[in-house]
Structure 1
Amino acid sequence: MAQESVAPTTADVTHGDEQHGKQNALGPILCWAVVFADIGTSIYYTPGILYHNVQGLAGFFVFLTMAVFVLLTLKYTEVSHRFPQGGGVVTVAAHALNPWFGALGGMFILVDYFLTATISCLSGVIYLSVVFPALHPWAEWVTIGVLILLGLLNWVGISESAKVSLIGAAIAFVSDIAILITVFTHISFGEFLALFPRMFQESHLTFPALLVGFGNAFLAFSGLESISQLSPVMKLPRKKTAGLAMFLVVLTIGITSPLLTTLSTMLLKDAAQDPVRNEQIISLLAGHWGNTILQAEVAISAGALLIFASNTAIIGAYHVFMALARMEFLPSFLLKRNKLRNTPHFAILLAVGVPIAVLILVQGNLTILGDMYAFGLLGAFALTCLGLDIIRARDWKKAREAEEAEEWGRLLGPSEPLTGTDGQREVTTTHDLQLSGTPQPQRTGALAANTQEAEVMASEAETKSLWFKIDYFLGILTTLLVTIAWTTNLVTKHLATIFGGVITIIGMGVAYLVYIRAKKVTGRVPVPIVVTRIEGRIPNSVLAILLPDNEHNKAVIRAAITNADQEKPIMFVYLSNRQPRQQTPRMMEIVDPYLEDTQAKQYFGRAESLAQQAKVPLRRYVYLQGGPESVTHIWQIVNPHDTVIAASDNDYIKDINPDRIRYELTPYGKVAHLLKTW
């Protein structure tokens, strides 16, 4: 299957984005708050779980993994601005590989969300039991009650606020700093440095132990994926916003997580070894070196923030359910909303029900939950990294092709310019930025051509830069390191592999059954990659124009497939007249106009089914916001050999000069073939 690339914008701003930028968009501070409120909670349960696995080396492994975390933030920053519709691993894997890998990524991130909701909520209740000891014997059942309450709140439709995240994140960060200041008023810097030799004296570090500890320590950085889910509500330009937010995340996590893990596991040995107290170890650290007031404050703030993080995971899970349902990999009933509150009650029920079932299954054992965590988290990291590497490789390849085309243009001279009919330089775009989450402005004629050329030139400059090449190889190194951590956990964390594997197999099995049913019952299938920008010249191609509510679309589809051969790619272009959504996206929501356009999905699905039957190897699907008058500009950019359009729509075509026009009468209506030899 041919993959379609899309062109970037020079400033990451479109007309639709301009409106988005004015409406409650999240700046770097609020994005940091949402991400830190997720990653920052990991410190409360990570030291105890890590100590169970690697003893006194817990702090060392968090310091070690911090380097890979920094590399991961570079990749997730890029994901955030490349894919403004959100979706993270689902979107990246679908566009880099194919939709089935997107579905696989969805299963990975769902496993991650299920365990995040369970671990965070249980850990939150355990921390609250420091202040309210009567809670601890009933922690499992209290956690179930809290999860049910969170489900009801989401059913009611109480949305999560970034401003609330900011308050929680600020309190947590200030509390962490207060603990560090308190501890360092009692021990000297030399005594702190002396902790590291003690780590290796008490624990023997072998190569297998190094791999196991490295894989386990990623638990300290769970929550990074949430930055890619904020893309639809991120202030423009997204690249700058995501970059600043990630810088703040690295700074704050770098100051707190490795130090608190080291101090808690090395200075509170008795608590770290105790199966009950190690689940409250950060609060106990505050009380041991400070006072009961600081201990209580840390316990209460940690408990509240952990429960808040659990709710974030629930929200993320049901939005992934809905996205996979819109992609037609999960049953459509998950999209149903109740009449009372207009919330997706079935998706919310699953997002809450699975964590409750997991909690009951492990009988509220936090250490077991921590061991189960690795599969989904590292699987999502690895697939996201691999997908981004593939997209970057395409960019580099297209940059070289563009340079070669430009060189040929200079050699051929003015007699054979590499131009389209509008006189603009034809260069393959060099960036795989997906913009399906943002409606595109309507541009025609010279304005559109000039805009596209500016975008191409900006993208070429970026891809040719030294930083792009450095980032490319750093990205491959990141993928390798994350994959090593994941495969190590697959072998050593049997519960994680079993749980994650079962959930993934069930999910992919359901996706396959939904796919087969759609193919048999409706005669259409979920389509491969759908993009929202025209890439550039596709010589000797067939361009099929599909319009909303047009009774002749079936005729256009059949005629395009019938007249294509093994060497002619078909580009199906659907010109949507849908108005851009007016409401601001909610946090963690995946926003993609195509996935919400039922009619476009039906036509593309029918086209894909017929193309598969005809064994057409090269087919592309493009979804554009615009009217029939846009066909002229599309034709000028693509340079197709055959443009197929309903004969009744000929009046819409302006400034197209085919060599000849051939009409074809089909059972579904009359179509026109505009034939051109370029």
Structure 2
Amino acid sequence: MVQESLAQGTKNMAPGHDHESHSAAGMLGPLLCWAVVFADIGTSVYYTPGILYTSVQSLAGFFVFLTMSVFILLTLKYAEITHRFPQGGGVVTVAAQALNPWFGAMGGMFILVDYFLTAAISCLSGILYLSVIVPAIGPPYALWITVGIMVLLGILNWVGISESAKVSFAGAVIAFLSDIAILVTVFSHLSFPEFLALFPQMFAGHSLNAGSLLAGFAGSFLAFSGLESISQLSPVMKQPHKKVAGIALLLVVITVGLTSPLLTMFSTLLLPKAAADPHQSSQIISLLAGEFGGPVLRAEVAISACALLVFASNTAIIGAYHVFMALSRMDFLPPIILQRNRLRGTPHYSIMLATGIPIAVLIAVAGNVDILGDMYAFGLLGAFTLTCFGLDIVRTKEWRATNRALKAIRHASPANSPEVVAVEAHDLQTSHVAPAVPRAHTALMHADLVHLPQPKTLWFKIDFTLGVLTTLLVSVAWTTNLITKPLATAFGGGVAAVGMIVAYLNYSSRQKQGQVPVPVVVTQLDSLPGSILALMKQDNPTNDAVIHAAIHAADENRPVTFLYLSRQQPRTEAPRMMEIIDPYLDDPQAKEAFGRAENLALKAKIPNRRYVYLQTTPETPGQIWQYVHPYDTIMAIENEEQLKDINPDRIRYEITPEGKVAHLLKRW
């Protein structure tokens, strides 16, 4: 949170917010965000009923209704993620910052498994729906037509044709209206008593026990795959993120809630023979439309479903190659992943992997939609679980940070009573009246309290409890699928294991080169009285001297914070859909400096070390010094202006082989 306060005080650009410099005209509002997410989630209903029917038969609709409640809780967490992590990345970013980068890498492997299967099953389902009106392209030719379409999608991405949110909007509106048309047509053929009779019909011949309830609950999450795409839209989302994402996801909940559970229930109960047929189950929504609305509605649904499913396949390819690139920028995958071709400037190796792996999966399962659906559970629920758990960790840390901030105010206030502290905290939250603490310290503390939750409020407790409950429910679903869907576990676990092995080998290779990837780089500071603050700057030749001096000064009782102040200019090109924007990952100087510091810290066996990256102006060091309260601030003294707002007890100079640095010593 400290970078936001620095932005207020010095008008600097905070990490992760560089996209705000772009024209708002290129950003997505609530309707376009809804369209992109619904164009992903909305496609699941085309293949979910048939896949669920093979395992739970007539209970498919019941389990989709049941899981809908957890889906609503998930949207609350994902809405928060979009504004907490504006750089995008979803599970990769959340897990990396909440836990450590290795969990971010694992989350990346989970979401890649999800993207691979989404690309494969969506494209194949699209061709199968088209075969409703063009039977000649059905099995056994559907597989090879699907492979050809996916090759074409890969070529289009190599050429550089990016996805348009306006196209998503058109597709989402057509799909939603088609779904509503089917529901209206079905209701026009059913009396109200006949409709009510469908509910007990779902349970006829079934006895629910704990095992079957868990299995059905876990398997029906397939109906809501695609929610994770909202977190990938953060870099292209209009401000304020919280409001835009909240409205978009409210629209998603309404539109998905109106269509998916009812369409699943109607298709499996009213067309049981089609749901049980391996070929027709892949076209069941179009067949439902034809059964009650005639051939015209059947053809319209088949065509719109085909277009939207192929579009969803392309979205998955785009998401996958951006995750590949993010993992490479995080030093978990080889740098060759980032290479761009000279002709089009697109990351051809990432695109090849994002397209080639789903094609290989399609061929391996011989184009069987049911097998693809059975394999889906691992990556989707693994990503949901890790994302939810990561957000819970972030909330817990902020809860503790709030308490630390309040204690710091209590310590700094001349009137040290709880009543004064309570008034000060209220003022900071509402009227912007600052307590009697130093000006820069006040600004930083003000920003912390404005953006951190107040743990004593009822809403915070409810929100936190619901968040933990969501994590538990999703974790139960994932654990259940690990046991009940061995194929999904084998495939997803195998892909994730291979990916993590590659990440480990790449990490080891960089270690041997002396460029050790840093465990965690954060973009906010904590108040650490008595610590050592090693302050590095962009393009400063004495950064190595600062690192060595900090390593020599460190001991078990004084944590070391390596702080890199960047003047990196905001990017001029607008971010693309699904792109992950992170100024630190795009700053090779900072990554190299932190890598050298981590390598030396490991050799010196320094246990307590932190790495912080901020984009700042020259006035920032003084504000940081007053906020952190370090015992020893190590920096290169270029001019006296740098000591503004810094009042050490004494200054000690140290000459190292890399240059001269100053130790600004202060006992607070």
TM-score range, shorter chain: over 0.9
1:313 aligned onto 2:305:
no
CA contact (8 A) 2:2 2:447 kept: no
- Out of 632, 648, 658, the residue aligned to residue 668 of structure 1 is 658
Residues 545-596 of structure 1: CA distance to partner in whole angstroms, max 9, x if unpaired?
1122222111110100110111211111111122100111000000001100
Q: Which residue of 2 aligns with 1:470?
A: 462
Pairing partner for 2:230 from 218, 227, 232: 227
Q: Determine the structure 2 residue equivalent to 1:94.
A: 96
Distance 2:31 2:279 in 1: 36
Partner residue in 2 for 1:269: 272
Q: 1:377 aligns to what?
A: 380
> What's the counterpart of residue 619 of structure 1?
609
| Aligned: 1:115 with 2:117 | yes
Q: Which runs of 5+ in 1 are unaligned?
A: 419-424, 431-444
SS in 2 for 1:364: coil
TM superposition shift of 1:655: 3.4
Q: Which residue among 492, 513, 525 is the counterpart of 2:516?
A: 525
Counterpart in the other structure of 2:434: none
Per the alignment, residue 587 of structure 1 pairs with 577
Within the candidate set 494, 498, 501, 2:493 is matched to 501
Q: Residue 557 of structure 2 corresponds to which residue in structure 1? A: 567
| Alignment match, 2:31 | 29
Partner residue in 1 for 2:433: none
What is the percent sequence identity of the aligned residues? Answer: 63
Return the offset for 1:85.
0.2
- Structure 2 counterparts to residues 341-352 of structure 1, below 5 A: 341-352=344-355
**1:164-179 superposed matches below 5 A:** 164-179=167-182
Q: Which amino acid aligns with 1:467?
A: W
1:244 is aligned to 247
Residue 545 of structure 1 corresponds to 535
Query: What is the distance in 1 between the residues matched to 2:562 and 2:407?
Result: 28
Count of matched residue pairs: 648
Instruction: Indicate conservation of the 8 Å contact 2:125/2:369, yes or no.
Output: yes
Deviation at 1:531, TM superposition (A): 2.2
Contact 2:198 2:269 in 1 (8 A): yes
Deviations 1:590-612 (A, max 9, x none): 00011001111000011111112
> TM-score, normalized by length of structure 1?
0.92
Among 159, 162, 173, the residue aligned to 1:156: 159
Question: What displacement does 1:627 show?
Answer: 3.8
Secondary structure at 1:534 match in 2: coil
Give 1:407 deviation, angstroms: 4.7
TM-score of the two chains, using structure 2 as the length reference: 0.93
* CA gap 1:214/1:624 in 2 versus in 1, 3 angstroms: same
Asked whether the equivalents of residues 523 and 612 of structure 2 are also in contact (C-alpha less than 8 Å), the reply is yes
> 1:551 and 1:409 mapped to 2: Cα distance?
37
Secondary structure at 1:328 match in 2:
coil
Distance 1:592 1:460, change over 3 A: closer
Deviates more, 1:596-605 or 1:401-410: 401-410
CA distance in 1, matches of 2:236, 2:443: 25
Q: Distance in 1 between matches of 2:62 and 2:411?
A: 55
- Write the distance in 2 (CA, Å) between the matches of 1:447 and 1:250: 45
- Name which of structure 1's ranges 640-649 and 505-514 shifts more when overlaid on structure 2: 640-649
- Could you say which residue in structure 2 is the equivalent of 1:435? none
Aligned equivalents of 2:4 and 2:552: distance in 1?
A: 30
**Match for residue 648 of structure 2?**
658
User: SS at the partner of 1:484?
Assistant: helix
C-alpha change, 1:448 and 1:186, in structure 2 (3 Å) is farther
* RMSD over aligned Cα atoms: 2.3
| Residue deviations 1:619-673 (CA, integer Å, cap 9, x gap) | 1212122244321221121111111112446663323221111111112112111
Change in 2 beyond 3 A, CA 1:36/1:453: same
The unaligned stretches of length 5 or more in structure 2 are 430-436
Where 2:655 maps in the other structure, the secondary structure is strand
Say if 2:440 and 2:627, in contact at 8 Å, map to a contact too.
Answer: no
Letter in 2 for 1:217: S
Q: Which residue of 1 aligns with 2:21?
A: 19
Note if 1:58 corresponds to 2:66. no
SS across alignment from 2:614 = strand
1:301 to 296, 304, 318: 304
Of 179, 186, 189, the match for 1:186: 189
Q: CA deviation at 1:513?
A: 0.5
Give the match's secondary structure for 2:286.
helix
In the other structure, the counterpart of 1:434 is none
Q: Contact 1:372–1:496 at 8 Å: present in 2 too?
A: yes
Query: Residue 278 of structure 2: SS of its match in structure 1?
Result: coil
Q: CA–CA distance in 1 between the matches of 2:356 and 2:452?
A: 48
Q: Helix, strand or coil for the counterpart of 2:512?
A: helix
- Quick check: 239-248 or 403-412, which moved more? 403-412
Query: Does the aligned pair in 1 maintain the 2:47–2:283 contact within 8 Å?
Result: yes
Once the two structures are superposed, residues 10-68 of structure 1 have per-residue CA deviations (whole angstroms, 9 ceiling, x without a partner) of 9xx97856534624111111000000000000000000000011100000000000000
Please state how far the C-alpha of 1:84 moved relative to its aligned partner: 0.2
Distance 1:478 1:614, change over 3 A: same
The corresponding residue for 1:510 is 502
* Alignment-derived partner of residue 218 in structure 2: 215
User: Residue type of the partner of 1:278?
Assistant: S
